Structure 1
């Protein structure tokens, strides 16, 4: 099972350390939690193994309590030993919280960010960092905002197709080795493995850095994978001009991704076909089918 450390959170968001505690503590849940009901004494559904975020509302409430009440409420929450506490908006007057965190060796951290902004960014970071993942051989590109996975045998032309797409204004995500992350039951993200970030390997040319060669817009850190395209060698009579192809799918981490096959032949605009496939997928998601419209026109005649 994947996990993050509290130190990873500190490094990612440059958090101020008020109580160091054990920053090697494990974060195993992807969503941060605001302990509001818990400070009021209700613990039936306390997400104690999540990062605990204390915003203005929580800190203001604690400030208004008597010292005895405050010690009691904080003590009841801290004894569950959550991974860490993060105080937002650089709030002060936290001596009572510092005391209990020091006793339990729990990191107490602080950020100037508003609560909603920190929680949004932290949730994305933790969800991605804790997501189940796998690596596959292929190329990942973002075509007009649509994540496309290009697969095929070595030397079939995946990287060359990606290069043509980049020159047409689309973006590279990863070449050769693509890391897939499952961030929800229906969502797969494609990203690089850090080593191959921004690099594209072209036969006869060598390794190029797409950001240096074509500008920052030529590269994207990650994208949601919505199309799986397999590039294959041309087979005579294997393709027909059907009005609408029967849907096919490929499964990655138990998530089904629409799959199509594009056969290669000298002179065939493969990059253009990838663009057409991506844009056609988008139209289908909007409820439009070219085949349905064509048949309606035939019926009118």
Structure 2
């Protein structure tokens, strides 16, 4: 199971550490957070103890209204489970009692430095955790965003993947990763494509060398991640191997249990491979809208002869 340290979280969200400076190597393994409202009033049947616990203005206001003994009981009931940390989004004023209990139980207590809505913070934190803790794999290929559609371009070494990506960049599309593509499974239907940071923004072209696409073509030529919708394999030309049916049977590639629509494009001198990839992206989008050019064409034929 993947994990990230609490220290990474503190740095990413610029959190203030009230308690637990020496415990920031605590591992976070759950990709969701929890707001312990029910637990403060005594309901522990489904308490996710391994999640980060978020305390917003509602929870803090409730605790302030309790008597000393009642507050001690309510907080004690939760800290005994030793969640990885508490994050307070309502400021640090009046948290002396919470600081005391977290110090005694060695539970990090963090506070957002800037006032922010608790719901907005939870959405941002959940999104960050899902991406960071998502199952991932790497593959050799290129990842592009074409017309807003995430595309994997695969094929044997030297087949022309990076050169095709360069042509697509020249047509206004965006590079996500070249050579090493990192895939992250965010859900059963969602696959995110990104880079491995070391090769970020770089495109390797035979006979030319490395290009930094941002330096060469501007920020518009690059984006850091994209949802993968189409898997395209570039292969060498084989005579009489192309299928000229009106519409190809849908095929899919499985990545960590997520099925991605896939097609094969054969290469031959003079073929506009980048243009074919653009056509494939447009065709995929129209299919998602329920349109099939083949069905449209056949319906016209039927109308003609009926």
TM-score, length of structure 1 as denominator length: 0.98
Q: CA deviation at 1:14?
A: 0.8
Q: CA deviation at 1:245?
A: 0.1
Residue number in structure 1 paired with 2:75 = 74
* In 1, Cα distance between equivalents of 2:137 and 2:10: 26
**Corresponding position: 1:41 with 2:42:** yes
**Corresponding position: 1:54 with 2:38:** no
* In 2, Cα distance between equivalents of 1:216 and 1:276: 24
Structure 1: gaps spanning 5 or more residues: none
Q: CA deviation at 1:90?
A: 2.4
Q: CA deviation at 1:89?
A: 3.9
216, 220, 239: which one aligns with 2:219:
216
Spell out structure 1 runs of 4+ moving beyond 4 A: none
Residue number in structure 1 paired with 2:290 = 287
* In 1, Cα distance between equivalents of 2:91 and 2:81: 24
Residue number in structure 2 paired with 1:262 = 265
* In 2, Cα distance between equivalents of 1:237 and 1:18: 70
Residue number in structure 2 paired with 1:231 = 234
RMSD: 1.0
Deviations 1:185-240 (A, max 9, x none): 12111110110011000111110111111111211111111111000111111113
Residue number in structure 2 paired with 1:151 = 154
* In 1, Cα distance between equivalents of 2:254 and 2:30: 25
Contact preservation (8 Å) 2:250, 2:261: yes
Deviations 1:113-169 (A, max 9, x none): 221221111111111111111110000011111110000001111001111111111
TM alignment of 1:272-283, pairs within 5 A: 272-283=275-286
TM alignment of 1:106-255, pairs within 5 A: 106-111=107-112, 112=114, 113-255=116-258
Q: Indicate the SS of the match to 1:149.
A: strand
Contact preservation (8 Å) 2:60, 2:90: no
Contact preservation (8 Å) 2:55, 2:90: no
Residue number in structure 1 paired with 2:6 = 6
Q: CA deviation at 1:91?
A: 4.3
* In 2, Cα distance between equivalents of 1:89 and 1:207: 48
Count of aligned residue pairs for this structure pair: 301
Q: CA deviation at 1:66?
A: 1.2
* In 1, Cα distance between equivalents of 2:190 and 2:243: 32
Contact preservation (8 Å) 1:6, 1:23: yes
Deviations 1:78-118 (A, max 9, x none): 11111111111424211111011111111111112221221
TM-score, length of structure 2 as denominator length: 0.96
Contact preservation (8 Å) 1:56, 1:91: no
Residue number in structure 1 paired with 2:16 = 16
